[in-house]
Amino acid sequence: MPKKVFRFTHTAVDYYFDSKLSLLPTILPRKNAILLTDEHLFSAHPKQFKGWNTIVLKPGEDQKVQATVNAVVEQLIDKGADRTTTLIGVGGGVVTDLTGYIASIYMRGIPFGFVPTSLLAMVDASIGGKNGIDVGLYKNMVGCIRQPQFILYDAAFLSTLPDKEWINGFAEIIKHAAIKDAPMFRQLEANSLLSYQKKKVLLSALIQRNAILKTKVVQADEFEKADRKLLNFGHTLGHALEKQHDLPHGSAVAIGMVAAAKLSGHFSPFKDGERLSRLLRQYGLPVGLDYDKDPIFDVLKIDKKKESDFMNYVLLKKIGQAFIQKISLQQLYNYL
């Protein structure tokens, strides 16, 4: 099985690209594993879970809360899970975020691994060791940074991923290209959602390229003191819009990226805003929204990237090169 090992501050993570869930027993014995998944995955891929001790959650962001953590911990106790148990999240970002968090607190920490099944989880959520849950309106308010032991990629899961979830994943892929990888931006311009869905080799290369891009950013700055912040491109306004307008995450980030691209022109020579919007539209993402500025600004102000009266905003110098700009809240309000 092709394996790449990536080192982080405290640990190393094995990435099994182009792999199969059926190869999991070669990584660890079944008796030491408990799989955590959601009902969508469990019903769409029943064979994959056969013979595995599995806990099945209800799907959706609403489940990424403390009540789910408590319920899973009780099931782990019932199943006799101990420090020799590895908890394996098989699912989208909700399942992987929960898995990492629960494994980090159960018995003060047991090992965990991920089998990401949504495009977004493959290129983004399963990578980097951020685990956690939401508290009320506040996303990822409670959690920890701890790396999984392994990430196993099985593209067969993507056969059942709804199109709207593919589009969510492409928002993060376009974000990666915009901040760090101009050649990938051009490759995305030359292709389409359909061409990636049809061409397995092209898709697999794209997933690997994005997984490695994010991994390298995290390796250089695991605890988000500098460059890791660039991954928040489009997310400052995006998160505020997502909460207030109940938008899919990818749509909110896309609108946030367009706004950040416009803002970039005030602080750098960036001129490719229209090119970014064109690419987002090409992948089915929205590029604008009529929103009420004041309530959005009230949420935006409590973003984790705020420092007293300034916001650290991720902007673009050019396609493939991002930077962080301190912007006063007043200035930001005027520009929005």
Q: Is 271 designated active site?
A: no
282 SS3 class: helix
Q: Is 165 designated active site?
A: no
From residue 47 to residue 86, what is the string marking binding to ligand NAD with x (rule CB under 6 A)?
------------xxx--x----------------------
Q: Is 239 designated active site?
A: yes
Q: Assess 235 for contact with ligand NAD (CB under 6 A).
A: no
Q: Is 83 designated active site?
A: no
Of 36, 91, 94, the C-alpha closest to 65 is 94
Residues 124-163 that bind ligand NAD (CB under 6 A): 124-125, 128, 130, 139-140, 157-158, 160-161
Q: Assess 19 for contact with ligand NAD (CB under 6 A).
A: no
E strand or H helix that includes residue 89: strand 86-91
Q: Assess 168 for contact with ligand NAD (CB under 6 A).
A: yes
Between the alpha carbon of residue 109 and those of residues 32, 76, 104, 133, 262, the distances in Å are 15, 13, 4, 16, 44
Dihedral of CA atoms 52, 169, 304, 115 in degrees, nearest 10, equals 20
Q: Assess 181 for contact with ligand NAD (CB under 6 A).
A: no
Measure the CA–CA gap between 199 and 244, rounded to whole angstroms.
Answer: 37
Q: Is 224 designated active site?
A: yes
Q: Assess 120 for contact with ligand NAD (CB under 6 A).
A: yes
Query: For ligand NAD, which is the closer residue by CB, 94 or 110?
Result: 94
Measure the CA–CA gap between 183 and 177, rounded to whole angstroms.
Answer: 8
Number of residues that bind ligand NAD (CB under 6 A): 30
φ and ψ at 3, to 5 degrees? -130, 135
Strand 86-91, strand 112-116: pairing: parallel
User: Which residues sit at the interface with ligand NAD, rule CB under 6 A?
Assistant: 38, 40-41, 44, 59-61, 64, 91-95, 97, 117-118, 120-121, 124-125, 128, 130, 139-140, 157-158, 160-161, 165, 168
Supply the residues annotated as catalytic. Answer: 108, 130, 172, 214, 224, 228, 232, 235, 239, 249
